[in-house]
């Protein structure tokens, strides 16, 4: 059985790789240039089962582990990082429902999410609450069998095109510390009072909508309080962000691998002083460092994913993977641009896109500075005297 499952996983990863080569690479330049939401590619991703990758089989998903999922994400990011972002938020919300949801919530949401017809979006950040999640101001007030949500959320990936939003709100304004009074609600698109305030034009990460969502007296049934109990929202959000950070690390590895692949190919074609630039020691040193750092990031990523698969908290490992991989990606994409020289600064090659996409990984799902604080806190706990 295990061998058959492994073969199925490898087949899906290989099919995603072929999909990227056959369907994504020929159209990515035009889609990215026009900041176009890739509806046709998403339809094909649904057919491949990518949106159901980690959803349990009991609810219509493939039930893959996160070690397999990060390989799928890496393949997508090699083709176009934005595609892996559309998938990430969906998988993150599905994981939160599968892990913390009531049985009724799992039965109601997960089969539709597994089909990819309804995709997830995560609503955490606000104008004055980004890394400081406890500073959120959105309030959910109980009224009979419902809650009324009021406030606004920023930086919502899939904010326009998602169908199911996991929304963090305060249900108890008196309790201290504030995180103990937070809860997550599952809000469906089309609920009266929910609207898109604006979308953001970004340096990179094109083709995926990043929006502000406004909640004005949004009425949500108490049956859509994730897990059925108030006060668990912060813990649920942090568990979801572990998945998000693992995903961002996988995106960074995939993007850096794409930059390296292009750079080493170009270095063997471009000639200066009578020989390919790959034969110059200065270029060889760059290529060696790039490949070594990519592989190191990939190993950190797999370690974090393996711990998540064991059902353990992996704040430390996910933080290390996300920190190292995102910083590595920024460095590798810049080195790739340098290898291309002046051509790397033009839109004639993909390197300039890689370089614009890389900074997202430095801030997405928590900045590098926040990752360092998380890592240090866990290290001090482990080595307390």
Structure tokens at 13: 């990863």
The DSSP letter of residue 180 is: G
| 357/351 Cα distance (integer angstroms) | 10
| 144/228 Cα distance (integer angstroms) | 15
Please, are residues 172 and 180 in contact by the beta-carbon 8 Å criterion?
Answer: yes
Alpha helices for the chain (secondary structure H): 2-19, 28-33, 39-48, 66-79, 81-100, 103-115, 233-269, 281-309, 315-340, 351-363, 368-382
Please, are residues 50 and 16 in contact by the beta-carbon 8 Å criterion?
Answer: yes
**Beta carbons within 10 angstroms of residue 144's beta carbon:** 7
Q: Could you say which of 242, 271, 365, 369 is catalytic?
A: 365
| 306/310 Cα distance (integer angstroms) | 6
Residue 8 annotated among the catalytic residues of the structure: no
Known catalytic residues are: 365
């Amino acid at each position: 059985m295990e061998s058959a499952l492994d073969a199925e996983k490898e087949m899906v990863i290989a099919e995603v790789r072929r999909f990227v080569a056959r369907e994504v690479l020929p159209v990515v330049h035009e889609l990215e240039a026009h900041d176009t939401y890739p509806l046709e590619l998403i339809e094909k991703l649904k057919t491949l089962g990518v949106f159901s990758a980690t959803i349990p089989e009991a609810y219509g998903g493939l039930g893959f582990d996160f070690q397999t999922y990060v390989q799928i994400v890496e393949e997508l990011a090699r083709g176009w990082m934005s595609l892996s972002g559309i998938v990430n938020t969906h998988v993150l919300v599905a994981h939160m429902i599968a892990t913390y949801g009531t049985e009724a919530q799992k039965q109601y949401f997960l089969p539709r999410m597994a089909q990819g017809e309804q995709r997830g979006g995560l609503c955490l950040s606000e104008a004055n609450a980004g890394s400081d999640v406890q500073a959120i101001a959105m309030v959910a007030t109980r009224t009979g069998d419902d809650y009324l949500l009021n406030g606004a959320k920023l930086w919502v990936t899939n904010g326009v095109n998602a169908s199911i939003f996991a929304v963090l709100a305060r249900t108890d304004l008196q309790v201290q510390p504030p995180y103990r009074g937070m809860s997550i609600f599952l809000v469906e698109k089309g609920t009266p009072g929910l609207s898109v305030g604006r979308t953001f034009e970004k340096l990179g990460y094109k083709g995926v909508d990043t929006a502000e969502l406004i909640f004005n007296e949004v009425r949500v049934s108490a049956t859509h309080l994730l897990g059925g109990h108030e006060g668990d929202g912060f813990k649920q959000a942090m568990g979801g962000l572990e998945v998000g950070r693992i995903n961002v690390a996988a995106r960074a590895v995939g993007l850096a691998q794409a930059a390296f692949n292009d750079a080493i190919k170009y270095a063997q074609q471009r000639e200066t002083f009578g020989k390919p630039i790959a034969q110059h020691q200065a270029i060889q040193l760059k290529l060696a460092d790039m490949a070594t750092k990519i592989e190191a990031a990939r190993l950190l990523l797999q370690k974090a994913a393996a711990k998540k698969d064991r059902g353990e908290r992996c704040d430390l490992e996910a933080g290390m993977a996300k920190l190292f991989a995102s910083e590595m990606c920024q460095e590798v994409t810049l080195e790739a641009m340098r290898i291309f020289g002046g051509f790397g600064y033009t839109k004639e090659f993909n390197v300039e896109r890689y370089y614009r996409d890389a900074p997202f990984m430095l801030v997405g799902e928590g900045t590098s500075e926040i990752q360092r604080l998380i890592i240090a806190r866990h290290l001090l706990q482990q080595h307390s005297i």
